Amino acid sequence: MLCSMCLILFLSNTISGSSESVILTYGNNSCSGRLEVFYNNQWGTVCDNGWNLSDAKVVCREMGCGDAFEAKSGAFFGQGGANIFLSEINCVGTESTLSSCSSKKPGQFNCDHSKDAGVICRSLVRLVNGSHFCSGRVEVLNDDQWGTVCDSGWDYSDAAVICKEMGCGNVFDLRISGFFGQGSGPVWLSDVQCSNTESTLRQCNLQGWAKNSCGHEKDVAVACQRRIMLENGFSACSGRVEIFYNRSGYNEWGTVCDNNWDLTDAAVVCREMGCGNAIAAKSAAFFGAGGGIIWLDNVNCIGNELTLAACQSNRLESNNVHYKDVGVICQCKLVYIRILKEYCK
């Protein structure tokens, strides 16, 4: 659910020779998160002084994402560590890279990580009609219209990029021939060629938009591994909330602390799980104490977010005792999608 991929931003004194350009971490997907830059062989963040939508637009463009939806401030995606490399960035909004914008560099400003800047870009990929947020028919946005992808040449590497861009885990299964139902509108792409090194589908080798003769009976789909699960509950839609993070190269499941945990937060978990409405938000390790890292604290969802990662929260990253682990009870749904079945006890 939460994306920690790093893309390198070229600034003066950076390592040259890379083809990558930006980093958004701890967001919902590869097109949202805390902005970080690579400077003098080190990673660091950007101060939110003067940070606005014009600056965010340049980041979204450089990331290969859609238009900027929001320019976030006040460490919305959590505080970074070590260095703060840029402040008072001033982009017109038409620049192709952030390095083309004027800014203050280290030594020219005073800031702390409570002011780390972030970005939310418009997603250009979605998964439709699946059993949860990380599965479904692949749809892509082009020319302000959603359309599908033809299964000609579709393989694991292509599906892996979709899972990466969605902020989901590895590929669980890839499907062809309209497995999650036929879409509507244009069939935008066919013969997609990804190497699995790309962060977004648009960085893959594409054969052109709407240049195919496919019908919707060949729409591709993918099932990615979830980055959230409910453990030790009495049904598929109840239990202790556990989330998957990538930290320092290690893939780890962990829990959420119950400070300020409420029904609005639980509703987002239920939505992400593909369950019904939230019935109860449980605290104090109601479903038993978990193990590993306690990843989040003070989760504050509005209630319309698609994933828990999209909510504001504090990144706790603690190994303390788990007596405050949160849980949820959602309305349980019986889901039939061809041979996929999820039963509620």
Residue-wise pLDDT tens digits, 193-232 = 999 888 888 889 998 898 888 999 999 999 888 789 999 9
Residue 305 lies in a domain: yes
The domain boundary residue, chosen from 224, 247, 262: 224
Nearest residue to 86 (alpha-carbon basis) of 57, 46, 34, 114? 46
Q: Please give the pLDDT value at position 198.
A: 86
Is the model more confident about 341 or about 322?
Answer: 322
Task: Clarify whether residues 215 and 158 are in a common domain.
Answer: yes
Residue 96 lies in a domain: yes
Q: How far is CA 282 from CA 6, 273, 276, 312, in A?
A: 35, 16, 16, 19
Residue 241 lies in a domain: yes
Task: Clarify whether residues 114 and 159 are in a common domain.
Answer: no
Identify the weakest region by mean pLDDT among 3-7, 58-62, 180-184, 335-339. 3-7
The domain boundary residue, chosen from 224, 256, 284: 224
Torsion, CA 57, CA 61, CA 62, CA 65, rounded to 10 = 110
User: What's the rounded Cα separation, in Å, for the pair 329 and 281?
Assistant: 7
Q: Please give the pLDDT value at position 167.
A: 77
Phi and psi at 21, nearest 5°, equal -140, -30
Task: Clarify whether residues 263 and 289 are in a common domain.
Answer: yes
Range of the domain at 78: 23-121
Q: Are strands 293-300 and 250-256 parallel, antiparallel or unpaired?
A: parallel
Residue 298 lies in a domain: yes
Over range 93-99, report the average pLDDT. Answer: 91
Over range 51-71, report the average pLDDT. Answer: 91
Identify the weakest region by mean pLDDT among 21-30, 67-76, 80-89, 280-289. 21-30
The residue behind tokens 């828990």 is 308
Handedness of CA 178, 180, 184, 188 (dihedral sign): negative
Composition of the chain by helix, strand, coil, percent to 5: 15, 35, 50
Q: Please give the pLDDT value at position 246.
A: 59
Residue 282 lies in a domain: yes
Task: Clarify whether residues 35 and 107 are in a common domain.
Answer: yes
pLDDT digits (tens, 9 = 90+) for 147-173: 999 999 999 999 999 988 887 778 888
Task: Clarify whether residues 232 and 182 are in a common domain.
Answer: no
Asked whether 95 and 103 are in contact (CB, 8 A), the reply is: no
Residue percentage of the chain with pLDDT more than 90: 46
Nearest-5° angle of CA 106, CA 112, CA 117?
85
Identify the weakest region by mean pLDDT among 23-27, 47-51, 234-238, 341-345. 341-345
Is the model more confident about 7 or about 62?
Answer: 62
- CATH at residue 179: 3.10.250.10
Residue 147 lies in a domain: yes
DSSP state at residue 168? -
The residue behind tokens 């929001």 is 70
Over range 117-144, report the average pLDDT. Answer: 88
Task: Clarify whether residues 285 and 233 are in a common domain.
Answer: yes
User: What's the rounded Cα separation, in Å, for the pair 70 and 48?
Assistant: 13
Tally the domains of the chain. Answer: 3
Q: Please give the pLDDT value at position 345.
A: 52
User: What's the rounded Cα separation, in Å, for the pair 202 and 311?
Assistant: 26
Instruction: Tally the residues of the chain.
Output: 345
- Is the pLDDT confidence value at 62 over 70? yes
Task: Clarify whether residues 69 and 89 are in a common domain.
Answer: yes
pLDDT digits (tens, 9 = 90+) for 7-58: 323 332 332 223 346 788 877 777 888 999 888 778 889 999 999 999 999 9
Task: Clarify whether residues 75 and 101 are in a common domain.
Answer: yes
pTM: 0.66
Both tokens of residue 248? 């320092």
Task: Clarify whether residues 136 and 194 are in a common domain.
Answer: yes
Residue 245 lies in a domain: yes
Task: Clarify whether residues 254 and 319 are in a common domain.
Answer: yes
Residue 251: pLDDT band with limits 50, 70, 90: low
Over range 84-94, report the average pLDDT. Answer: 94
Asked whether 9 and 46 are in contact (CB, 8 A), the reply is: no
Q: Please give the pLDDT value at position 220.
A: 93
Task: Clarify whether residues 232 and 323 are in a common domain.
Answer: yes
The domain boundary residue, chosen from 224, 239, 255: 224
Task: Clarify whether residues 219 and 206 are in a common domain.
Answer: yes
Max Cα distance, the chain (Å): 61
Mean pLDDT for the chain?
A: 83
Task: Specify the amino acid at residue 123.
Answer: S
Residue 341 lies in a domain: no
Q: Please give the pLDDT value at position 247.
A: 53
- Is the pLDDT confidence value at 342 over 70? no
